[in-house]
Structure 1
Amino acid sequence: MRLLIMGPQGVGKGTQAALLSKHFDIPAISTGDIFRYNIKNGTELGKQVQAYTDKGELVPDALTNSIVKDRLAKDDAKNGWILDGYPRNVAQVHALDAMLEELGMPLDSVVALEAERSVLMQRMQKRAEQEGRADDTPEAIEKRLATYEQETAPLLDVYESRGQLVVVNGVGDVDDISARMIQQLN
């Protein structure tokens, strides 16, 4: 199974991607995790990424597309994957379409997790306190949510028109949310 998991920051994409990964025995691939790993380890990629994330900005498409394509071509992704945090805009949708065609990997479904903005703000503020993430300041959170609403939320219409969209309420017990997703995907 090849899935995208989409939704605003703080909706639980990473948590749900990990649960779906275990259920379907496929890797969960988070562009954010790849970026954070490289930042933590002081790699050249990490330095490039940090220059953007510290300002609450998204990493440029060309850099992100290259990282995603490289990751999807790895052996563990041959039988399926869950992409979390990509695509974020129309240009990335087209880039992903081209990648998947080149790799011979059709996309099966797109899961869209939804939650009210107040819930998202509370979750991200709590995450910032627990994990000490420098990119979770109130200003950066607001900027990322606004960017999601302007650039990424409209992509759901693209996937809905293709008959690939599954919308799931991202509020409630983590296992209940996961069960609802799996039921809708089956």
Structure 2
Amino acid sequence: MRIVLLGAPGSGKGTQAAKLQEKHGAPQISTGDLLRAAVAEGTELGLKAKAAMEAGELVADDIVVGMIRERLEAPGSDSGFILDGFPRSHAQAASLDEMLTKLGRPLEKAVHLVVDNEEIMTRLLERKRADDTEATIRHRLEVFESQTRPVVNYYAAQGKLATVTGVGEIDEIFGRIEQAVGV
């Protein structure tokens, strides 16, 4: 299983990635987790990422892709992987494809969890996190539409896209994803 989970913030990517990892053994790879770990460990990529974050900038694509490459080359991802929330742009998707081809482990499926914006708003506001205000959620949804929607189209053009309704019971959605990826 070599898949990417795509979807707007609050669409359930992290929840479903964890369930897939638990049942099928392929590691869930979250760029946020990788960034935090690399910064904490003081790796070369982590130091570069930390400098960008402290300057209030986005971490450059080459740094993020480099962290994913390191994780995929480490023990434990030979049987596959579940990328959670990456790639987030067309450029990242192209870089990921190039890297995976070089590793001899091309992506099998991109699963797009589709949830309408009102449901996302409800879900995120119920989390009661300080950064989950209506204004910030609307902004994140706009960023998803402008930057990540092209990734959905990129994988659709390759014939690798599976669209899954991300509304319903967690196990019901999980079943739809398993069916979409053929496991």
**In which range does the TM-score fall when normalised by the shorter chain?**
0.7 to 0.9
Alignment of 1:127-142 (within 5 A): 127=127, 129=128, 132=129, 135-142=131-138
Which residue of structure 1 lines up, in the alignment, with residue 102 of structure 2? 102
Which residue of structure 1 lines up, in the alignment, with residue 16 of structure 2? 16
2:164 aligned with 1:168, yes or no? yes
2:66 and 2:172 map into 1 onto residues whose CA distance is 35
Instruction: Give the deviation of 1:37 after TM superposition.
Output: 4.9
2:157 and 2:82 map into 1 onto residues whose CA distance is 20
Change in CA separation of 1:36 and 1:135 when aligned onto 2, cut-off 3 Å:
farther
Which residue of structure 2 lines up, in the alignment, with residue 145 of structure 1? 141
Instruction: Give the deviation of 1:71 after TM superposition.
Output: 1.2
Instruction: Give the deviation of 1:35 after TM superposition.
Output: 3.3
1:144-174 alpha-carbon deviations (Å, 9 max, x no partner): 2211100111211221121111111111100
**Contact between 1:108 and 1:164, CA under 8 Å: does it hold in 2?**
yes
1:27-58 alpha-carbon deviations (Å, 9 max, x no partner): 0111123335567x596467446447xx7x75
TM-score, normalization by structure 1: 0.84
Change in CA separation of 1:153 and 1:35 when aligned onto 2, cut-off 3 Å:
same
**Contact between 1:35 and 1:49, CA under 8 Å: does it hold in 2?**
no
1:139 and 1:17 map into 2 onto residues whose CA distance is 27
2:68 and 2:54 map into 1 onto residues whose CA distance is 19
Moved over 6 A (4+): none
Amino acid of the residue matched to residue 28 of structure 1?
Answer: Q
**Contact between 1:115 and 1:171, CA under 8 Å: does it hold in 2?**
yes
Unpaired runs of 5+ in structure 1?
Answer: none
1:42 and 1:119 map into 2 onto residues whose CA distance is 37
What SS does structure 1 have at the residue aligned with 2:120? Answer: helix
* Number of corresponding residues: 178
Which residue of structure 2 lines up, in the alignment, with residue 183 of structure 1? 179
Change in CA separation of 1:16 and 1:48 when aligned onto 2, cut-off 3 Å:
farther
Amino acid of the residue matched to residue 166 of structure 1?
Answer: A
How high is the sequence identity, in percent, across the aligned residues? 39
Unpaired runs of 5+ in structure 2?
Answer: none
2:48 and 2:10 map into 1 onto residues whose CA distance is 24
Amino acid of the residue matched to residue 160 of structure 1?
Answer: A
Change in CA separation of 1:37 and 1:10 when aligned onto 2, cut-off 3 Å:
farther
Amino acid of the residue matched to residue 140 of structure 1?
Answer: T
1:78 and 1:48 map into 2 onto residues whose CA distance is 31
Alignment of 1:12-91 (within 5 A): 12-37=12-37, 41=40, 44=47, 47-48=50-51, 50-51=53-54, 58-91=58-91
